[in-house]
Amino acid sequence: MLHKFLRRALFPACAALLLAGAAAGVQAAEFINILTGGTSGVYYPLGVALSQIYSKAIPEAKSSVQATKASVENLNLIQAGRGELAFTLGDALSDAWKGNADAGFKTPLKKLRAVAAIYPNYIQIVASADSGIKTLADLRGKRVSVGAPKSGTEINARAILKGAGLSYADLGRVEYLPFGESVELMKNRQIDATLISAGLGVSAIRDLATSVKMVVVSIPPAVVAKIDDPAYQAAVIPANTYEDQTADVPTVAIGNVLVTRADLPADTVYKMTKAMFTHLPELVAAHSAAKAIKLENAVKGLPIPLHPGAAKYYREVGLIK
């Protein structure tokens, strides 16, 4: 009798514990928090579009979007388990994997795993026409915003200036601000130029072009060649990308990567990867930079290992063996 009584008493408690454990397991894979960047950049609208895609394609997961300071913050958050998918620049990702403290990574971030190489970022230096800035050398003594502190953009700014034989000490004043705030200061004539690392047609620069007569500053191939990082490649901002930009402008391109955590279930990452590549038109509708996202480039130049879930999708479509 006592045996029966104990069994009856303990069964509900054990069942509750089992259900709670199962629920916790499901809950761990139920949320997809997408880490992006500032709302006036490219990462954010693409993150919103991805969230909408996931809501339909992975209905069992609750998808959300978080505006951040972009690459460096995103990678540290992923390492800390505070996000499931993040946008980042390839050079920042390489620094994170190595643990480059100067770039904002105190230790190597070994929980990071790649989902896909996506579109390239273009370094876009814009100056107000009345500042007199036409070349990189003209930035000497000027007021320049270089991006949020230790963001991927700010890492790019240091590299570009170094390649041109300049440093922050050569500038008249340095502001560490995200795209939107930088543009507002330019509109108010409080700074002379800003460096923005983003996809072509970024809204912050389009917005600036409607308010201020501006110049897109050239970054010549000779400067690119002096940057000691293979992630930096010579590129061109095509004519008419922005209002009154009537000629091609030489610049630098750096690949962007989508990153996740090693401990995220393979099935979840598989579904995320598949949903993105089967809904590319929706990403293009969110921002024209997504036109450069190609399945055939998804595993090119990745500085960290692929997540097994992403690798499963790429094997399925014949991209890798």
Q: Is residue 18 part of a domain?
A: no
244-193-201-72 Cα dihedral, nearest 10 degrees? 170
Q: Is residue 24 part of a domain?
A: no
What mean pLDDT is reported for the chain? Answer: 90
Instruction: Count CA atoms closer than 13 A to 265's CA, side-chain side.
Output: 12
Q: What is the pLDDT of residue 264?
A: 97
Q: What share of the chain is helix, strand, coil (3-state, %, to 5)?
A: 45, 20, 35
Position 146 pLDDT exceeds 80: yes
Q: Which amino acid is at 222?
A: A
**Average pLDDT of the segment spanning 70-99:** 96
Out of 254, 280, 303, a domain closes at 254
Position 167 pLDDT exceeds 80: yes
Could you read off the pLDDT of 26-49 as tens digits, one per residue?
344 489 999 999 898 899 999 999
CATH of the domain at 287: 3.40.190.10
Residues 283 and 190 grouped into a single domain = no
- Global pTM value: 0.81
**Average pLDDT of the segment spanning 51-64:** 96
Position 160 pLDDT exceeds 90: yes
Q: Is residue 6 part of a domain?
A: no
Q: Is residue 8 part of a domain?
A: no
Residues 280 and 203 grouped into a single domain = no
Q: Are 302 and 309 in contact (CB under 8 A)?
A: no
Residues 262 and 248 grouped into a single domain = no
Residues 133 and 247 grouped into a single domain = yes
Residues 273 and 153 grouped into a single domain = no
Q: Are 218 and 249 in contact (CB under 8 A)?
A: yes
Could you read off the pLDDT of 209-264 as tens digits, one per residue?
999 999 999 999 999 999 988 889 999 999 999 998 999 999 999 999 999 999 99
Q: Are 218 and 132 in contact (CB under 8 A)?
A: no
The domain tally of the chain equals: 2
Q: What is the pLDDT of residue 227?
A: 92
Q: What is the residue range of 231's domain?
A: 121-254
Out of 254, 279, 303, a domain closes at 254
Residues 113 and 139 grouped into a single domain = no
